[in-house]
Amino acid sequence: MLARARSRFALCLVVLGVLRRVEAQERARDAPFSCEPVVPGSVLFRGFALENYEPAGHEQRVRFQIEEPFFGLPANTKELEVPLEQKEGIARGEERIVGSLPNEYGPHWSAERFDEAAEKPYLEYLRGLPSGKAPARILGWTSGPDGLPLAGAIVRAVGAGREYEMQSNGRGTFEFAGLVPGKYRVTASHLGFETFVPFEEVEIVRAGCGVVTLPFEFEGTIRGAVKDQHGSPLQGLRVDLVQLDGDEEEPFESRQTDAGGNYRFTGIDPGRYRVGISLAHIAPRQPYPRLYAPGVEEVANGYVVQLSEEQPIADIDLWLPDPKLREFEINVLWSDGSPAKGATIALVYGRWHAPARPLIADDQGVISVWGYELLAYRIYAYAKSREARDVMASMERVILPGHDKVWIRLVLSEKGSMGSLVSFDPAKLPLF
């Protein structure tokens, strides 16, 4: 089923690509470009219809007498029958510019009216194709989610061993002129938007032009840094993003901060959002209460982020108070009640406040360590037996969140390998 869904999605992309190229072909004839896209396999000529054509909602074949060949026709070709499906009828003897643009399903044919005087630049372009002396070009359009021109997009064309770059203008158009013929990959980028497809490929011939359309969709971003009250970055914290529906919060996504305390959410739709810590009810828990940016517990005092096409990016930093700590005093004993010097405390769940290091009991079998009030803990102790033959371990102890100091006594009374003492590797558990 998944394979069929992917196949249908790929087919949709192909169909949309064909429709965009047909639209580009039609728009390219107008000013300021005065161009007819041609690629290897295209045919282009001026001719008279030898029979009437009436739109019928399906493809029909129409014969044309060729008066002026421009591209792709064998020498001395006098007539050509082409398949047409267009809304406008054609009368016998009517003069048209007839052309084809190959696509994944075969050539797309059109037969367009023209005005010799009004479309002089367009005809000059067509008549320059046979000689191959005119500059080859790539031209096109960038548009926003609403279909209107999107100015200021950075457009790049890479191919034929060369690379070109420019910005789309106020009309959302761009044009690379004087190109070496060959295949090119055209990409575009714009802050806060993303092209519908990653790139468009186009091939241009000598003196010809290639046309691409680059529609953009919204690409909202919320980013920032998480720091403590002293300004130091906090690594490994889960930052939660919630979307607002009225006053209701809907969990959206979560991200973990990097070594610099930075987080980043991308691909976000327009709307209202909040960012914070411990907003999502997912494990593992963190040593902080529910905090909203910029670092407050009261939701009314937190930031509300509004993303729109006018403001697609928001920078929101969080400044967190120091988490509340509680002290753990752990006493490890052998089964005879004597101190288990050198025993190791294993953390199954939770997180200690101190940097990661082995927690080893002292000569009295005691170790003190600081944890967090808001976290639950699962711990046990283990050590080699005094004969150094077996590993002895205590039963696991669970400590619920709380404020008071914790005193725990762990008795090494269970014998077995480390693999049999716990059902999973504590080292593979998340830190929070």
Contact 227, 233 (CB under 8 A): yes
DSSP for residue 56? -
Q: What three-state secondary structure class fits 153?
A: coil
Q: Are 412 and 343 in contact (CB under 8 A)?
A: yes
| All residues at 6 or more sequence positions from 7 whose CB lies less than 8 Å from its CB, including other chains | none
3-state DSSP assignment of residue 69? strand
Q: Which CATH number fits domain 131-218: 2.60.40.10, 3.30.70.260, 3.30.930.10, 3.40.50.2300?
A: 2.60.40.10
Helix (H) or strand (E) holding 306: strand 305-307
Closest to 122 measured CA to CA, from 212, 28, 193, 196? 28
CB 36: neighbour CB atoms within 10 A? 24
Whose CA is closest to 134, among 184, 74, 179, 72?
Answer: 179
User: 12 CB contacts (<8 Å, ≥6 apart)?
Assistant: none
From the list 355, 358, 395, 354, the residue with the least C-alpha distance to 371 is 354
Return per-residue pLDDT of the chain as tens, 432 residues. 333 333 343 334 333 444 445 455 556 665 567 888 888 889 999 999 999 999 998 999 999 999 999 999 998 999 999 999 999 999 999 999 999 988 777 888 999 998 888 888 889 889 999 988 888 899 999 998 888 999 999 999 999 999 999 999 999 999 999 999 999 999 999 988 889 899 999 999 999 988 899 999 888 999 999 999 999 999 999 999 999 988 888 989 999 999 999 999 998 989 999 999 999 887 778 899 999 999 999 999 999 999 988 889 999 999 999 999 999 999 999 999 999 999 999 988 888 987 667 899 999 999 999 999 999 999 999 998 877 678 899 999 999 999 999 999 999 988 754 433 443 344 433 333
For 325-428, CATH gives 2.60.40.1120
For residue 116, give Cα distances in angstroms to 49, 119, 396. Answer: 17, 6, 91
H or E element at residue 15: helix 2-28
Q: What DSSP line would sit under 183-241, residue for residue? A: EEEEEEEBTTEEESSS-EEEEE-TT-EEEEEEEEEE-EEEEEEEEETTS-B-TTPEEEE
C-alpha neighbours within 13 Å on the C-beta side of residue 58: 0
Tokens at 180, concatenated: 């070496």
In this predicted structure, what is the pLDDT of residue 27? Answer: 60
The 95-103 sheet, strands edge to edge: 79-84, 60-71, 43-49, 95-103, 106-112
| Domain range annotation of the chain | 18-130, 131-218, 220-320, 325-428
Neighbours of 194 (CB within 10 A): 16
Chosen CATH of 220-320 out of 3.40.50.2000, 3.10.50.40, 2.60.40.1120, 3.40.190.10: 2.60.40.1120
With a threshold of 0.85, does the pTM exceed it? no
261: left (phi over 0), alpha (psi -120 to 50) or beta: left
The CATH number of 18-130 is 2.40.50
Asked if domains 18-130 and 325-428 share a fold, the reply is: no
| Calpha distance 94→102 (Å, rounded) | 25
Q: Are 209 and 37 in contact (CB under 8 A)?
A: yes
Pick from 249, 409, 272: nearest CA to 334:
409
Separation CA 393–CA 304 (nearest Å): 50
Other C-beta atoms closer than 10 Å to the C-beta of 159 total 21
| Contact between residue 290 and residue 242 where contact means Cβ atoms under 8 Å apart | no
- Output the six-digit token pair for 292: 């909203």
